Structure 1
């Protein structure tokens, strides 16, 4: 969540810093909003960090609602809904995929620990025997 919030705070502060009320700033905002899809999708693909994906999706849903309240006709809230939907679905897929693979890995690790306890010794990775 901290990285997701930092990303959003950076964009939010950047928009405020340049007084984004003119046409050029709005065009850049409509282009840069897609980075809110690219960064979480990359984190999901490379690191399988589904918690970052859900945090980003949550903040993007908040952006969509805020923009909808601000402007009924505008592109940013439409883009935000599309981005949040895609990131939510991607995060769910990664969460279930990593959960099932992690469950299999956890069960194998638990079996190894139980076998070591039964045999009367325990592996200590930082100590030599």
Structure 2
């Protein structure tokens, strides 16, 4: 069991060796660049291969008039900001501060896996392989959910860039891609199911806000709910979906402000009701 623990990249450790830190640095940079490049490339270019309907990321989004179609401007801004924040996370891996370095290494394996899943999702999505893309996004949701609950971090910057930002997007992407995947995505039945399932965004966001006082999840989900609302409004003014989306956005945003203001005024709290000492913040080993 000890040998398994040593080779398991997701296992909690008391410290990280110099070699493991180097591996985290290299793999994090390579996979992050892969994720960024493929996202930007397929935002403006169609794939030249594939057997299904091929399109750009936002071309696929606009082609299928689903109940979870996103406004590409808001969603693109969300991803650009997230990528910029992740640059800061990568910088933590090169920090001379031992605490910051250990905090970054603690979530490194999940972040690397997230980048690989995101790459696979984009490659499948633009080629119209929505069933396989749904499987990938569900697997990434499991990966990021595990990250959220197994690796609590007091560093809110890392939490937003690596944990809550990607997790909020992945939750929405399950519905976004899933709505395209089902037969007749623009049918009345699909719209009715969309009117029902959209409320899970509110429940999901309030869970993190109320239980863990995580205002970052509330804000992220409110932005993505706005992306759904704007898109649905311009598609059909007389409809429930955009009304529901804007209602969810407003409730999450107000709840986010109610939690974020105490933090801004100096009343500190963690994203967990009870924070246990994180062994992964122990100093790095000097030799191993």
TM-score, length basis structure 1: 0.76
SS where residue 185 of structure 2 aligns?
coil
1:67-78 map, 5 Å: 67-78=232-243
Q: Give the C-alpha shift of residue 97 in structure 1.
A: 2.7
CA distance in 2, matches of 1:87, 1:69: 22
- How many residue pairs end up in the alignment? 106
Structure of higher CA gyration radius: 1
CA distance in 2, matches of 1:24, 1:68: 19
Partner of 1:107: none
Structure 2: where are the runs of 5+ without partners?
1-164, 270-280, 284-288
1:22-37 map, 5 Å: 22-37=187-202
Distance of aligned partners of 1:126 and 1:58 in 2 relative to their CA distance in 1, 3 Å threshold: closer
Partner of 1:87: 252
Partner of 2:170: 6
For the pair 1:20 / 2:185, whether they are aligned, the reply is: yes
* Higher normalized helix content (fraction of residues): 1
TM-score, length basis structure 2: 0.35
Q: How well do the aligned residues superpose, as a CA RMSD in angstroms?
A: 1.9
SS where residue 102 of structure 1 aligns?
coil
SS where residue 234 of structure 2 aligns?
helix
* Stretches of 4+ aligned residues off by more than 4 angstroms: none
Pick one of 254, 262, 270 that aligns with 1:97: 262
Structure 1: where are the runs of 5+ without partners?
104-124
Distance of aligned partners of 1:97 and 1:20 in 2 relative to their CA distance in 1, 3 Å threshold: same
In 2, are the aligned partners of 1:41 and 1:53 still within 8 Å (CA)? Answer: yes
CA distance in 1, matches of 2:179, 2:262: 36
Distance of aligned partners of 1:71 and 1:49 in 2 relative to their CA distance in 1, 3 Å threshold: same
Q: Deviations over 1:57-105 (max 9, x none)?
A: 01111111111111111110000111100000000101113444218xx
In 2, are the aligned partners of 1:48 and 1:98 still within 8 Å (CA)? Answer: no
Structure with the larger RCO, 1 or 2 (CA within 8 Å, 6+ apart): 2
For the pair 1:57 / 2:222, whether they are aligned, the reply is: yes
